[in-house]
Amino acid sequence: MSKRGLELYVHIPFCVRKCAYCDFLSGPADDQTKRAYADALVREMRSVKEKYSNYRVDTVFLGGGTPSILEGDETARIFHALSEDFDISPDAEITMEVNPGTVSAEKAETWKACGVNRLSIGLQSADDGELKMLGRIHTFGQFLETWEIIRRAGFDNVNIDLISALPGQTAESWAKTLHTAAELGPEHISAYSLIVEEGTPFYEIYGEPEQGVQARSAAGQGRVLPPLPDEDEERGIYQATKEILDRYGYHRYEISNYAKEGYECRHNLGYWERKEYLGLGLGAASLVRERRFHNTADMEKYMGIFGEAKGGISDPASGEGAAEDFEELTLNDRMEEFIFLGLRKMEGISEQDFRRIFGKEIRQIYKDQIKKLTEQGLLAGAEGRIFLTERGIDISNYVFSEFIF
């Protein structure tokens, strides 16, 4: 009997310093904390291994934070435990996030030896001024050094993360970043646009976005930063992305993701295709057997469960470990997710898949929505698939929310 497929996400909640825009679960920590956390992760894996013995792991993603901040031996311990406790497919995609300033040739060798076959490197901008403003710890020059190290170590599937719509950014400076990154020839480029999230220093400065307008002046708000790009500027920035990356042979396969043929990120695609995934570590989210849940985001609580003092929990296999907020997905939830996650992919969703999974006709169940959105020029259909139009991509949230009940 063949095993079920599973994706693993492992969260490393540490970084050198929190960036001004970042609302991820991450922060600086001392060596002792990091080491204790790595130990706890290993214990968590051990505690769930029985539950997932019927799964074969297709992708692993070590995300953060800055996972590359861990010492080589700590990373090795995590991967070693992973391979002991889970059945990892020989052709699994194993990604690790790294950031300039935390990478050395030795570490890169170790990762390679651990089986990591894909790296995602956070560049964000090729402009030193913009990097400084974002609160990044590195310059473009330091990024290049990291780039050299990982290429020399033999990593041939690498993503570069970029952020557009930065304060003071123009279409020109963004185009320069895109050209610079694309000329290096990474296999994959993620281009997100900045979202000012609550609880970040940027939020203090820029506040809640007015409806649809990002252009706000930051003058007189303490820290003097340029305003966010105005609407027209942002539109220029947005359009430039696809055009420029297209020229370098990157095709857009998801709203914010571009890849050379065959280098699409399988792990992220899994999220959009509703594959089962298990999150390990602080705050990590999971989808298992049509149930969503996530680990506690409270470090003390997490360490209380998996930390050394506890030595694991009494009956780890039957307990819920650090998981909480269980949400059983109803048929309706699943259909909604199928649509709003699937539509993030440029190829959209397949009517036949919908029929196969739910035993219903998508064009019947969402007749009104599909009709309205198609008339509004936001959705299109061809060859049994439904997908976003260019305009639909621009305002995808609007499109998705139409499918929510």
Partner 1 sequence: MIISGVAPELGGIKLAVIDQSKIRNFCIIAHIDHGKSTLADRIIEMTGLLTDREMQAQVLDNMELERERGITIKAQAVRTIYKADDGEEYMFNLIDTPGHVDFNYEVSRSLAACDGAILVVDAAQGVEAQTLANVYLALDHDLDVMPVINKIDLPSADPERVKEEIEDVIGLDAEDAPLISAKTGLNVHEVLEQIVEKIPAPAGDPDAPLKALIFDSKYDSYKGVIVFCRIKEGTVRKGTPMLMMATGARADVVEVGTFGAGQFIPCDELSAGMVGYITASLKNVKETRVGDTITNADHPCDEPLPGYKKVNPMVYCGLYPADGAKYPDLRDALEKLQLNDAALQFEAETSVALGFGFRCGFLGLLHLEIIQERLEREYNLDLVTTAPSVIYKIHKTDGEVIDLTNPTNMPDPSEIDYMEEPMVKAEIMVTSEYIGAIMDLCQERRGIYQSMEYIEEKRAVLHYHLPLNEIIYDFFDALKSRSRGYASFDYEMLGYQRSELVKLDILINKEEVDALSFIVFAGSAYERGRKMCEKLKQEIPRQLFEIPIQAAIGSKIIARETVKAMRKDVLAKCYGGDISRKKKLLEKQKEGKKRMRQVGNVEIPQKAFMSVLKLDDD
Note the residues at the interface with partner 1 (CB under 8 A). 7, 9, 11, 24, 63, 192-193, 195, 211-212, 231, 234-235, 238, 255-256, 268, 271, 277, 279, 284-287, 292, 294, 325, 327, 336-337, 340-341, 344, 376, 378, 393-398, 400-402, 404-405
Closer by beta carbon to partner 1, 55 or else 313: 55
Inter-residue long-range contacts of 328-334, CB under 8 Å, 24+ positions, other chains counted: 328/290, 328/291, 329/290, 329/291, 329/292, 331/358, 332/405, 334/274, 334/290, 334/358
If we measure between CA atoms, which residue out of 169, 159, 161 comes closest to residue 133?
169
Closer by beta carbon to partner 1, 142 or else 400: 400
CA geometry: angle 256, 262, 264, nearest 5 deg: 25
Query: Minimum distance from CB of 315 to partner 1 (Å)?
Result: 27
Closer by beta carbon to partner 1, 128 or else 336: 336
Identify the burial level of 243 via C-beta atoms within 10 angstroms of its C-beta, where 0-12 means exposed, 13-18 middle and 19 or more buried.
exposed
Q: How far is CA 382 from CA 328, 369, 385, in A?
A: 33, 17, 5
Find out whether 12 and 67 touch, Cβ atoms under 8 Å: yes
Query: Minimum distance from CB of 57 to partner 1 (Å)?
Result: 14
CA geometry: angle 315, 316, 319, nearest 5 deg: 85
Query: Minimum distance from CB of 49 to partner 1 (Å)?
Result: 20
Secondary structure of residue 228 in the 3-state scheme: coil
Query: Minimum distance from CB of 336 to partner 1 (Å)?
Result: 8
Closer by beta carbon to partner 1, 130 or else 402: 402
Give 105-168 as a DSSP string.
HHHHHHHHHHT--EEEEEEE-S-HHHHHHHT-S--HHHHHHHHHHHHHTT---EEEEEEES-TT
Query: Minimum distance from CB of 401 to partner 1 (Å)?
Result: 4
Closer by beta carbon to partner 1, 149 or else 338: 338
Query: Minimum distance from CB of 145 to partner 1 (Å)?
Result: 26
Query: Minimum distance from CB of 255 to partner 1 (Å)?
Result: 6
Closer by beta carbon to partner 1, 156 or else 327: 327
Closer by beta carbon to partner 1, 183 or else 325: 325
| Cα–Cα distance, 329 to 378 (Å, whole number) | 27
